[in-house]
Amino acid sequence: MRWDILTLFPGMFAGPFGESIIRRAVERGLVEIALHDIRDQATDRHRTVDDTPYGGGAGMVLRAPPVVAAVEAALGDDRGRVPVLLLSPAGRVFTQRVAEELARLPRVALLCGHYEGLDERARELVVTDELSIGDFVLTGGELAAMVVVDAVTRLLPGVIDAASLADESHAGGLLEGPHYTRPAEFRGRGVPPILLSGHHANIARWRRREALRRTRARRPDLLAAAPLTDQDRRWLAELAAEDAAHGTQSAEGEEHPEE
């Protein structure tokens, strides 16, 4: 997969893309990341990319000419075939489902917004979709673009172990349950005995039930949309009955109910 990232601050990407899994994916040719400096397309002496808003008001607006030129220069003849996604707090919310959709595409361009916003004509001319990574405001689209590249790249074939992807939080619409590793006892706290039993089917059932417990406690909104089996529904009914018996309502008391 190829990413074209249009930004005023290409230097910001060196750290996150130069380490760990993304770095290895780039080195192995599983993903290609091209950074394009929007400022390279400014034509005036001072290389200005922003200007004051028509009609007045606070802040600056990213000018249309350098942005449109940058998209055209980056995509060349492929323009029109490559989605151009603007990162902005006003976009469609980026979720694991959107990451899965993007991971099926051969090439995606990300346009990092800055200042108070992007001239509307540039948005109309080159932007095909707008993504937000959450209901908060960043200083610019760069960190959001890094989040999108990271979440999508790890889904590409060969980047990480397929079994890890299958079990992780959000994969099946649920949060993952708790994990444990050695030592078997730490500061007086043990490990759920079933995990030491070696009985794989029972362990899988326990993990599913714990995933349901955690999702019910922390993100009931996810539970409402998750694909559930009849067995899942029976477990959820049991968990609700446990809560009723303890007089609790599934807050975050799930892990150590005896405390």
Torsion of CA 135, 106, 35, 86, to 10 degrees: -30
Query: Whole-angstrom Cα distance, residue 28 to residue 34?
Result: 15
Shortest separation between residue 137's beta carbon and ligand ADE, angstroms: 5
**Residues 127, 62: contact at Cβ < 8 Å?**
no
Q: Which of 1, 49, 87, 109: binder of ligand ADE (CB under 6 A)?
A: 87
Q: Which of 5, 62, 133, 151: binder of ligand ADE (CB under 6 A)?
A: 133
Phi, psi torsion values for 248, nearest 5 degrees:
-110, 155
Using CB under 6 A, count the residues that bind ligand ADE. Answer: 12
Piece in contact with ligand ADE (CB under 6 A), picked from 14-22, 84-92, 118-126, 177-185: 84-92
Under rule CB under 6 A, residue 151 binds ligand ADE: no
Owner of token pair 């770095």: 23
74, amino acid identity:
A
What's the number of CA atoms in the CB half-sphere (13 Å) around residue 143?
8
Shortest separation between residue 232's beta carbon and ligand ADE, angstroms: 33
Piece in contact with ligand ADE (CB under 6 A), picked from 83-91, 149-157, 210-218, 242-250: 83-91
Strands lying side by side in the sheet with 61-62: 50-51, 61-62, 117-118
Piece in contact with ligand ADE (CB under 6 A), picked from 3-11, 35-43, 81-89, 177-185: 81-89
The residue whose Cβ lies closest to ligand ADE is 144
Binders in 160-219 for ligand ADE, by CB under 6 A: none
Under rule CB under 6 A, residue 127 binds ligand ADE: no
Shortest separation between residue 140's beta carbon and ligand ADE, angstroms: 6
Owner of token pair 């689209």: 141
Query: Whole-angstrom Cα distance, residue 22 to residue 32?
Result: 10
Under rule CB under 6 A, residue 59 binds ligand ADE: no
Under rule CB under 6 A, residue 49 binds ligand ADE: no
Under rule CB under 6 A, residue 257 binds ligand ADE: no
Q: Which of 88, 151, 175, 217: binder of ligand ADE (CB under 6 A)?
A: 88
Angle between helices 230-246 and 200-218 (to 10 degrees): 60
Cα separations in angstroms, 96 against 22, 66, 235: 18, 32, 25
Count other C-beta atoms under 10 Å from residue 118's C-beta.
Answer: 24
Shortest separation between residue 93's beta carbon and ligand ADE, angstroms: 9
Piece in contact with ligand ADE (CB under 6 A), picked from 99-107, 127-135, 169-177, 183-191: 127-135
Q: How far is CA 168 from the centre of its chain?
A: 13
**Binding interface with ligand ADE (CB under 6 A):** 87-89, 113, 132-134, 136-138, 141, 144
